[in-house]
Amino acid sequence: MTLDFLGTLKRTHMCGDLRAADADQHVVLMGWVNRRRDHGNLIFLDVRDRSGITQVVLDKEKSGEAHAKAEAARPEFVVAVKGKVRRRAAGLENPNMPTGEIEVVAEELLLLNESKTPPFSPAEEAIGNEEVRLKYRYIDLRRIEMQHNFALRSRVAMAIRNYLVGEGFIEIETPFMTRSTPEGARDYLVPSRVHAGEFYALPQSPQIFKQILMISGFDRYFQIARCFRDEDLRADRQPEFTQIDLEMSFPTQETVFAVVEGFLTAAFAAAGIVLAPPFVRMTYDDAIRNYGIDKPDMRLPAMVSLTDLLTPELRTTLKIEQDLPILGFVIPKAGDLSGTQHKGVVNEVRASFGDCGLDLLDVKRLTTSTEFEPLAKSIRDKLTRGYADFIRSNGCADALGVDPDSPSLSNDFLTVVITPKLGTPAKWNHDPQWIYKRVGALRLELAKKFADKHKLFEQTHTAADFKFAWVTDFPMYEWDEESKTWLAAHHPFTSPHEDDIKAGRLTSDKGAVRALAYDIVLNGTELGSGSIRIHRQDVQAEIFRSLGMTDEEAKARFGFFLDALEYGTPPHGGIALGLDRIVMILAGAASLREVIAFPKTAKAIDLMVDAPTPATEAQLRELHLRIAGRT
């Protein structure tokens, strides 16, 4: 096939631009053949670029040469079309295409490049095999949906940059080749050729550098930063990912929250969604008490404490352990289960609690006994009040199709009440909040199971889809059963609450120390976390010590940073949010891989470039490395 040269031909419009008002204009379009339909004397080519698709008509009678070339054209050939815009005849418009009112009648067709038959067509919506998509990523990325995702990603990143720069933040790059950062994951290491046996680490985050930038007086830093963590990959993790990373001097937590709320509002506006900050703030303890988890999904009603409704006598009769919490929650719209369905739920809950001592209280059965009927009523009343409050504060009466003031509201939901059987332990692995956490997990599980009924997870593409919360006052330490020690729950530069330092709890009562750490949560996922940092060398050294690190160990790992802290470090704090996840949510995508141009598989492989690969003997020798063996 003879291909044409582009020569001096210039494109006049993108393929998604033309409308009825452009009729009779002479235009030049360039792009890929999305589809080709051959009707003999008439050939239709749908020509696609990143902006959309235009239908091009080639008429043998009018332009024989162009028609002959169109006969040779195949999907994914690269073409240029010179022609005239024509309104489509009445009845032939395509309302599903933005350019569906017009077509371009070709006068000239240039075949700029041919294409092998692609392994899948970017014109098709459903493309099954993800491995094939990743191997031929360049073809996958041609799909309109992917083009949309990356245009959105670019707009979101730009909106965030503009907002932060407007707030006085300076964008500063920090190194990729550095030393281990303390985010708690495994490092990716880069061997040094010049220094035999020594390695750089890729940053798990710019944490230490951004703190040093505060010591350097930059006051407000940000970076849309790549981070690298060698973790065992779960479905929604990537070995390299992008954070919106920021740090500020002299902030309170609220200063950080306002900046994040501002840039998220700008980012969501770039996707056409109007947020209304401030977001809900809640302490870690409240999150656990009300949602049983530190990343509450507030699209669903919270748990309700029923502890005060059961007197010690009632607990004795019903064989419920004294003094432990009794929790209930409702699953909206699941109140009309059949007897068998209800039994199914009961069995499932009992099986999932297994041997931990928790049990489901059958409130329906209580109703049938005169002795327990008043208790059943008070439980249902309290849960109904909670549900009505949820509907009112979430403004979801219409979405759920219920009236919060209706007397029949209690028929609308499934009631779940969990009690501790006699002998249930108050702590599980040192954790006094375990009951809240188990019941919270059940709440999410059942809400997922009945999602078709309550539809509270469905997207309406408005701000109502997005329930944000700040979770504050996290515990500073976590007990590790394996090593029988307290470990830092966050990176070790996180400041403890000033009151807890003053009260000496760092040494006397680690379990009670709160951190000035916070998370931003959206619909039950953590979008980001941050903290007010330690800015005093003495406190930093004490934290390292309280984590079981000797002064020598701390010096060996973070000596440069401890030194820097001694040269006038201002109080400072910051946060980092996952950009990939934010874009994924805004794009309504099912996985991070839909919003990362060249992602890795769950086994950390790049299928397109085929990485990782073995190094050559010569490379290894230069790097002073020898491969010991494979496992």
Q: Binding residues for ligand ASP, per CB under 6 A?
A: 183, 205, 207, 529-531, 574-576
Nearest CB to ligand ASP, comparing residues 130 and 240: 240
- DSSP letter (8 states) at residue 292: S
Nearest CB to ligand ASP, comparing residues 247 and 359: 247
Residue 162 sits at φ, ψ, to 5 deg, of -60, -45
In the complex, least distance from residue 369 CB atom to ligand ASP, rounded to whole angstroms: 53
One-letter amino acid for residue 7 of the chain: G
Q: Which residues pair with 42 in a beta bridge?
A: 39, 59
In the complex, least distance from residue 183 CB atom to ligand ASP, rounded to whole angstroms: 5
Three-class secondary structure of residue 166 per DSSP:
helix
* Whole-number Cα distances in Å, 404 to 245, 337, 452, 534: 42, 21, 21, 47
Distance, in Å, from the CA atom of 22 to the CA atom of 376, rounded to the nearest integer, reads: 70
In the complex, least distance from residue 244 CB atom to ligand ASP, rounded to whole angstroms: 10
First to last CA, the chain: 50
Q: Which of 432, 446, 444, 440 is nearest to 479 (CA)?
A: 432
Distance, in Å, from the CA atom of 608 to the CA atom of 131, rounded to the nearest integer, reads: 9
In the complex, least distance from residue 225 CB atom to ligand ASP, rounded to whole angstroms: 9
- DSSP letter (8 states) at residue 239: S
Distance, in Å, from the CA atom of 261 to the CA atom of 280, rounded to the nearest integer, reads: 11
Nearest CB to ligand ASP, comparing residues 263 and 329: 263
In the complex, least distance from residue 356 CB atom to ligand ASP, rounded to whole angstroms: 31
Nearest CB to ligand ASP, comparing residues 207 and 238: 207
Element (DSSP H or E) covering residue 367: helix 363-367
In the complex, least distance from residue 275 CB atom to ligand ASP, rounded to whole angstroms: 22
In the complex, least distance from residue 383 CB atom to ligand ASP, rounded to whole angstroms: 37
Is residue 73 a contact partner of residue 45, using CB atoms and an 8 Å limit?
Answer: yes
Q: Which two tokens stand for residue 479?
A: 């007990």
Nearest CB to ligand ASP, comparing residues 207 and 223: 207
In the complex, least distance from residue 346 CB atom to ligand ASP, rounded to whole angstroms: 41
Q: Are strands 358-360 and 220-228 parallel, antiparallel or unpaired?
A: unpaired
Nearest CB to ligand ASP, comparing residues 205 and 419: 205
In the complex, least distance from residue 395 CB atom to ligand ASP, rounded to whole angstroms: 33
Annotate 408-471 with DSSP letters as a single string.
TGGGSEEEEEEEEBTT--S-BTTBTTHHHHHHHHHHHHHHHHTHHHH-TT---SSGGG--EEEE
Nearest CB to ligand ASP, comparing residues 183 and 219: 183
Distance, in Å, from the CA atom of 280 to the CA atom of 520, rounded to the nearest integer, reads: 10
Q: Which residues pair with 283 in a beta bridge?
A: 472
* Residue keyed to tokens 């809950």: 349
Is residue 488 a contact partner of residue 477, using CB atoms and an 8 Å limit?
Answer: yes
In the complex, least distance from residue 460 CB atom to ligand ASP, rounded to whole angstroms: 31
Distance, in Å, from the CA atom of 242 to the CA atom of 577, rounded to the nearest integer, reads: 8
In the complex, least distance from residue 577 CB atom to ligand ASP, rounded to whole angstroms: 9
One-letter amino acid for residue 526 of the chain: E
Residues 6+ apart with CB under 8 A from 328: 303, 304, 306, 379, 382, 383, 415, 416, 417, 418
Is residue 277 a contact partner of residue 162, using CB atoms and an 8 Å limit?
Answer: no
Nearest CB to ligand ASP, comparing residues 386 and 574: 574
Nearest CB to ligand ASP, comparing residues 335 and 571: 571
In the complex, least distance from residue 319 CB atom to ligand ASP, rounded to whole angstroms: 45
Nearest CB to ligand ASP, comparing residues 435 and 517: 517
Q: Which of 415, 307, 414, 309 is nearest to 361 (CA)?
A: 415
In the complex, least distance from residue 372 CB atom to ligand ASP, rounded to whole angstroms: 49
In the complex, least distance from residue 170 CB atom to ligand ASP, rounded to whole angstroms: 17
Nearest CB to ligand ASP, comparing residues 98 and 184: 184
Distance, in Å, from the CA atom of 60 to the CA atom of 67, rounded to the nearest integer, reads: 5
Three-class secondary structure of residue 273 per DSSP:
coil
Give the ranges where 15-63 is alpha helix by DSSP (H). none
Strand ranges in 114-235 using DSSP code E only, listed in sequence order: 170-171, 189-191, 199-201, 220-228
Nearest CB to ligand ASP, comparing residues 75 and 203: 203
In the complex, least distance from residue 500 CB atom to ligand ASP, rounded to whole angstroms: 19
Nearest CB to ligand ASP, comparing residues 45 and 576: 576
Nearest CB to ligand ASP, comparing residues 320 and 577: 577
Nearest CB to ligand ASP, comparing residues 221 and 387: 221
Nearest CB to ligand ASP, comparing residues 361 and 532: 532
Burial class for 14, CB neighbours closer than 10 Å (0-12, 13-18, 19+): middle
Burial class for 58, CB neighbours closer than 10 Å (0-12, 13-18, 19+): buried
Q: Which two tokens stand for residue 23?
A: 């009729």
Is residue 581 a contact partner of residue 244, using CB atoms and an 8 Å limit?
Answer: no
In the complex, least distance from residue 526 CB atom to ligand ASP, rounded to whole angstroms: 9
Q: Which two tokens stand for residue 211?
A: 């703190």
